[in-house]
Amino acid sequence: MLRRDIVKSAVDDFLSAALLGGSWEASLERLSAATGACGVSLVRVRNGRPLAWKSSREWAEADAELMHGRAPPSPRQFFPEDSFGPGFRVDHDLYTDAELSRDPYYQDFLKPRGAFWHAKVRLWHDADERISLSLKRGTTLGPYGRPDIAVLDSLVEELRAAVRVGRRVLDVEAAGMMRSICRRESAAFELDSLGRVRREHAAGPAVREVRVIAGRLVAADALAQRSVDRAVMAAVTAPVRPAAAVLPSESGEAKFLHIVPVVGEARDVFSATAAIAVVIDPGSHSAAVPVNFGGIRDVFGLTAREAQLAARLVQGMSIRDAARELRLGLGTARNHLKSIFAKSGTRRQGELIALLSRFCV
């Protein structure tokens, strides 16, 4: 039988990971050990299809195969939505021994990996999505008994609180980044890990070059749509990176859609903001303003030297003058500039300055 004090300690670690942005993988490993599991998975599912997951180390490879569709097909891989209740559910709550003995997922995927039984709980749900926690029990230990489930059920609210806290912490981080990158006249969009618009922030004059249709960023110019889609995917798909798309304007002066990833572990699992898209009008840039040095460095992962160079360019210096002030060779400064272009998703110095000028103090 599970010991509640040991499981409680692991659940507390799980909550700490949510509060402090710690390692979810490590917290899942501790939970796995405390619950006598051979693997633990935190999974986001929509309509029975997995969207994102975090796994304890010992089960990570198996989950990768399962989530990418390389496990034998079975309706029992993910418990149906209507099967969840207030606490943990086990295999025998839904299926008979005869059904499990014929199921290829249990027999051909789980059993060869030394696992067979589950205890699952829904920690969050909204419309057609849920976040659930799945404990995998080894074949030699047998299924979780009712006393074990009673221990787990006594800690369900703490587990759900950790998910609520984790989602809130990630949203607060995104809000801070939004404040850092967006000036009052900006139009900006928060995107999730699938590139869908979570929230729209419209300010200043109406933006005609891009709009939200069915949760997707759609360019007014159809020819620009492929570029917008590529930029969105670059910012939300590993390895994430800043990206940009040109938005042709009715005035003839092109604007830019810049998309910057929001860092933070497990954003995809928690359906948090994964990237921020900002519409930038290069013509609205006003040079010679104080620049948020730390914001530039942190958001784009610049080195201190790169951020110093970028800040001077935003303030109106030429690269030659900036190099001289920083006591850099011109060739070195140009190499730094190339790196800044790559990290910020920009291609030209004017575009870079228009983007970085958003980081004004």
Asked if residue 159 and residue 10 are part of one domain, the reply reads yes
83, part of any domain = yes
What pTM does this model have?
A: 0.73
Asked if residue 322 and residue 276 are part of one domain, the reply reads no
Q: At what angle do helices 293-300 and 330-344 cross, to 10 degrees?
A: 60
Asked if residue 140 and residue 76 are part of one domain, the reply reads yes
Q: Tokens 């929230």 sit at which residue?
A: 199
For residue 293, pLDDT beyond 50: yes
Asked if residue 23 and residue 71 are part of one domain, the reply reads yes
Distances (CA, A) of 361 to 127, 190, 292, 312, 327: 40, 22, 5, 14, 25
Section 163-167 average pLDDT:
90
Q: Which of 128-137, 276-285, 308-317 has the highest mean pLDDT?
A: 128-137
Q: What domain range is 348 assigned to?
A: 285-361
Lowest mean pLDDT among 56-60, 105-109, 271-275: 271-275
Query: What's the CATH number where 256 sits?
Result: 3.30.450
176, part of any domain = no
172, part of any domain = no
Query: What's the CATH number where 107 sits?
Result: 3.30.450.80
Asked if residue 213 and residue 325 are part of one domain, the reply reads no
Give the E-state strand segments of 210-253 in sequence order: 210-213, 216-219, 243-247
Asked if residue 61 and residue 136 are part of one domain, the reply reads yes
Asked if residue 254 and residue 219 are part of one domain, the reply reads yes
Asked if residue 101 and residue 232 are part of one domain, the reply reads no
Q: What pLDDT, on the 0 to 100 scale, is given for residue 19?
A: 84
Residue 287's pLDDT band (boundaries 50, 70, 90)? Answer: very low
Section 166-182 average pLDDT:
79
> Both tokens of residue 291?
């620049």
Asked if residue 204 and residue 91 are part of one domain, the reply reads no
112, part of any domain = yes
Q: Tokens 């800043």 sit at which residue?
A: 242
Each residue of 203-242: pLDDT tens digit? 555 678 888 999 999 998 898 999 899 999 988 888 888 8
Total structural domains within the chain = 3
Asked if residue 327 and residue 258 are part of one domain, the reply reads no
218-223: long-range pairs with CB below 8 Å, 24+: 219/245, 219/247, 219/257, 220/247, 221/247, 221/248, 223/248
Which residue, 243, 259, 283, sits at the end of a domain? 283
Q: What pLDDT, on the 0 to 100 scale, is given for residue 208?
A: 83
